[in-house]
């Protein structure tokens, strides 16, 4: 598939870009600064031995079938409003967690209850929003030799889009778990600050994850 990563020059975006490119997908990383994105793409391509493209956010979204949003919550609304037209008819993977610094280890529900629900409200029914990848360490994603020992919960209201994203999660080398409708993103996003608390409490430098048992 053609995958565009908005905010793809950040920590999560880099690891995802390389893993998907190695799985055979056509991947582009985006930024507000096209030159920065192209430079990052060139470095990733060279370091990982794959081909990754770069450009400004609008350009990479227009070329993609599936778009992953990897920006801080503070930039979430403005980024989506600027890309609403380009995202029409596409699937958006939203990995955003509405943290409230400095209290990032406490649950903070946004006005719309979850970032993913806010994304769907901004974009409208023409864009299929799927929420996932909230609980995977960026350190683990960037270490291509590391086998990530956790499950990935996936939720969204459009069933075919949810299933397609589950396939993309599997291509990352992870086990996707169908977590139901988009409303369940409230629980997925709220679990991240709990994991951050656990990381600090138990001195887990690379980050803890979750595992669903019994299935």
Taking only the tens place, the pLDDT of each residue in 32-52 is 899 999 999 999 999 889 999
In angstroms, the CA 41 to CA 20 distance is 13
* Cβ count near 81 (within 10 Å): 10
Sheet holding 91-94, edge to edge: 52-56, 26-31, 2-6, 66-69, 91-94, 128-132, 151-156, 175-178
Residue 201 has a pLDDT of 95
Q: Tell me the average pLDDT across 136-148.
A: 80
Residue 149 has a pLDDT of 81
How much is the pTM?
0.95
pLDDT of 79 strictly over 80? yes
| Residues contacting 163, CB < 8 A, separation 6+ | 178
In angstroms, the CA 175 to CA 151 distance is 5
Residue 151 has a pLDDT of 95
Residue 138 has a pLDDT of 81
Q: Tell me the average pLDDT across 154-168.
A: 98
Residue 93 pLDDT level (bands cut at 50, 70, 90): very high
Beta bridge partners, 151, equal 175
Residue 140, both tokens: 């683990």
Q: At what angle do helices 11-22 and 34-48 cross, to 10 degrees?
A: 50
Query: Which of these ranges, 15-24, 144-153, 193-202, has the smallest mean pLDDT?
Result: 144-153
Burial of 56 (0-12, 13-18, 19+ CB in 10 A): middle
For residues 111-135, b (16+ Cβ closer than 10 Å) or e, as one string? ebebbbbbbbebbeeebbbbbbbbb
Could you tell me the domains of the chain? 2-201 (3.40.50.720)
Q: Tell me the average pLDDT across 149-167.
A: 96
- pLDDT above 70: percentage of residues in the chain: 100
- pLDDT above 90: percentage of residues in the chain: 83
Burial of 16 (0-12, 13-18, 19+ CB in 10 A): buried
In angstroms, the CA 114 to CA 111 distance is 8
Residue 21 pLDDT level (bands cut at 50, 70, 90): very high
In angstroms, the CA 18 to CA 45 distance is 8
Residue 207 has a pLDDT of 79
Residue 12 pLDDT level (bands cut at 50, 70, 90): confident
Q: Tell me the average pLDDT across 82-111.
A: 96
CB 165 within 8 A of CB 130: yes
């Amino acid at each position: 598939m053609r995958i565009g990563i908005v905010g793809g020059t950040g920590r999560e975006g880099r690891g995802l870009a390389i893993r998907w490119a190695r799985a055979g997908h056509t991947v582009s990383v985006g930024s507000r600064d096209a030159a920065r994105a192209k430079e990052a793409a060139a470095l990733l391509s060279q370091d990982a031995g794959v081909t990754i493209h770069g450009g400004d956010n609008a350009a990479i979204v227009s070329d993609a079938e599936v778009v992953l949003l990897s920006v801080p919550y503070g930039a979430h609304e403005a980024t989506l409003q600027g890309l609403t037209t380009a995202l029409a008819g596409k699937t958006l993977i939203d990995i955003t967690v509405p943290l409230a610094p400095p209290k990032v280890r406490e649950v903070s529900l946004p006005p719309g209850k979850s970032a993913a629900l806010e994304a769907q409200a901004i974009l409208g029914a023409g864009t299929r929003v799927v929420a996932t990848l909230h609980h995977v360490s960026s350190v683990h994603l960037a270490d291509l030799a590391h086998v990530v020992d956790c499950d990935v919960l996936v939720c969204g209201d459009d069933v075919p889009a949810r299933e397609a994203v589950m396939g993309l999660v599997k291509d990352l080398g992870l086990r996707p778990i169908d977590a139901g409708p988009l409303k369940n993103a409230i629980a997925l996003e709220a679990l991240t600050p709990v994991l951050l608390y656990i990381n600090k409490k138990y001195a887990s430098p690379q980050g803890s994850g979750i595992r669903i048992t019994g299935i």
